[in-house]
Amino acid sequence: MKKILIADKISPSGVAWLKEQPGIKVVEAQGVSAEELSSLVGDVAAILVRSETKITRAIMEAAPALVCVGRAGVGVDNIDVEAATERGVIVMNTPSGNTIATAELTFTHLLCCARPVPSAAASMRGGIWARKDFSGTELYGKTLGILGLGRIGTEVAKRALAFGMKVLAHDPYLTDARAKALGIEMASKEEVFAQADYITVHMPLTPQTENMIDSAAITRMKPGVRLVNVARGGLVNEEALAEGLRSGKVASAGFDVFTTEPLPADSPLRSLSKLTLTPHLGASTGEAQESVGIEIAQAVAQVLTGGPCVNAVNMPSIDPRLLQQLRPFILLAEKIGRLVGQLASERVEKLRITYWGTLTECDTLPLSRAIQRGYLRRISGQVNDVNAPHLIKRLGVDVQVTQSNGEADYRDLIQVEAVCTGGTVRSLAGTVVGKNHLPRIVLLDQYPLEFVPEGTLLIAENLDRPGIVGEIGTVLGAAGVNIANMTLSRTTDASGHALSVYQLSGAPDESALKRIRQNPAMLSVQVVEA
C-alpha cells in the first residue's frame, strides 16, 4: 500500500480520485507545522502540496520511503529541489493546468494598465464622479513585448493579436517557424525594451533572469511604458519599478507576484496609485484549481504504480510515444552501464557515450541517464534517474555524450567507453534485435561478438590456442555450474587474442576461477552480473 500525504488543500476531485485508486492510501494533513509534518512522513511515498507548505531537506530526511513530491501549480519555490535530487526524489508540477487562468489574469492587468478601472472603482465607492481623472489609452495598434513564450506567453500573444496589437516576443528557444505560425515577430530583449508600449514577463526565476528588468532596463524603454508581471517575483526589480512609476517613465503597471510574499505592509509598492496589485491570483480560478488538483493526483499515482513520469522538474519527462520507442534501448542502456562499470578494474574517470543511427534523431537524455543508473548500481542501491547525474558527478566521473554521424554496422547502436586511471579503456556497444527488440551486446573492447546481457556472465580473454574452451567447460562442470549460452570472438590483428563469454547458471566459486586463471594462455577472467 502506497501512502500519499496531502499537506495543502487541493481540488476535492483530485483527492476523491486518489482515494478510489487501488493500492493507495490517502492521508490529509493540511495546515500542520513543520514538526508535525516530519512526524507524519516516515512511511509516506508521496507528498502533495500547493504553495503554502515547505518541503525542506529535513522533511525529506524524515521520509525514507519518499518517491515524489507533487506541486499543484507551477512554481516549486517551496520545495528544496536540490535536496530532492540528491535523495532521488522526483519533484513534479502542473505547468499546463493553470495556463488559461494565468494568461487571462495577465490580460486583466494589461487592460487595467490601459484603463485605470481599479482607481475609478475606488473613486466611485468614495462617492466621487470624476470622469476626467481616469482617462486611459487603447490596446489596439500598440506593441506588446512578451519576454518568454512558453504556454502562458503563447496564450497571452493570442489574446493580444485578437485585440489588434503587434506582438514582439523574446525567447531563446523560440524558432522562426513557431513565431511565424503564431503571427508574431521574434525580437531580442533589447528590441523589446526599445519598441514595446506594453511589456509582460513569463520566464522562470533563475540566476540569469533575476532582476531582468532593473533600472538600466527601464531606462532603455519607451517613455510611458506599461509593465506586467504575473510570473515570478524577482524578475522585475521592485525598487526600480517604484522609481519608474514615480518619475513617469513607467506610466502604469500590474503585478501579481512579489519578491517577498505576502507583500510587506510597509512596501512602497502599496502607495503607488498607478500600480494594480493582486495577491498572487494567477491560478486562483475554480477551473484552474480543479485542473491542477486532478492533474497532480494522476501524475503522482502514475509514478507510484510504475508508470512514466510527466512534468518532473528534476529529471527528463518522456513523451509517451517517445518512451514507447526508446523503452527497449533504455533497458539496453542500463545493462551496458552496469556491465562496463564491472569490467573496469580501475577507477573510472570518464564515461564516453556515443549514439549512432536513428537514435541520434531522438532525445537521448533518458538513455544517458539509464547508462549512469546502471553504472551506479554496484556502488549505490538507492539510485534512479533523478539522482544518477548528481551521484556520478560526486564520484568525479566526467560524462561525455556524442551523437555520431558516422556509419555503424547496425541501424542503431549505443557505445559506452569507461576511461580509467592510467589510460585503460573498457568499451561495450549494443543494439536491439528482432521483432521483440531484445537487447544484445555486439562489441566488447576490440572484439566483435553477440551475446545476451542477462544473468551471470563469465568473460575470459586468452591467447588464441586450441582447447581453451574445453578446459573452461571442464572446470565449470566440475564446480556444478552449467553453461546456458556461449559466444566466441578473436582479434583480426596479429595479437592472436581471443575472447569468450559464457552465460552461466550461477557464479562459480573462487577455487574454480583460480583454476581457470592458472591456465598459462589465460589473459583475464571476470565474472559480472548483467
Closest CA to 302 of 322, 326, 318: 318
**Whole-Å CA distances, 386 to 209, 337, 365, 389, 398:** 25, 16, 12, 7, 17
Grid cell in block for residue 116: 485605470
Closest CA to 41 of 63, 56, 67, 60: 63
Cα 310 from Cα 320, distance rounded (Å): 9
Cα 316 from Cα 85, distance rounded (Å): 12
Q: Which of 151, 159, 178, 280 is catalytic?
A: 280
Whether residue 261 lies in the annotated active site: yes
Q: What is the 3-state secondary structure (H, E, C) of 16-41?
A: HHHHCCCCEEEEECCCCCHHHHHHHC
Is 399 in a helix, a strand, or coil?
strand
Q: Where are the alpha helices (DSSP H) in 203-253?
A: 215-219, 238-247
Phi, psi of 228 (to 5 degrees): -135, 135
Pairing of strands 412-420, 348-357: antiparallel
Q: Is 269 left (phi over 0), alpha (psi -120 to 50) or beta?
A: alpha
Q: Which of 202, 226, 232, 497 is catalytic?
A: 232
Q: Which of 36, 190, 261, 346 is catalytic?
A: 261
Whether residue 347 lies in the annotated active site: no
Catalytic residues: 232, 261, 280
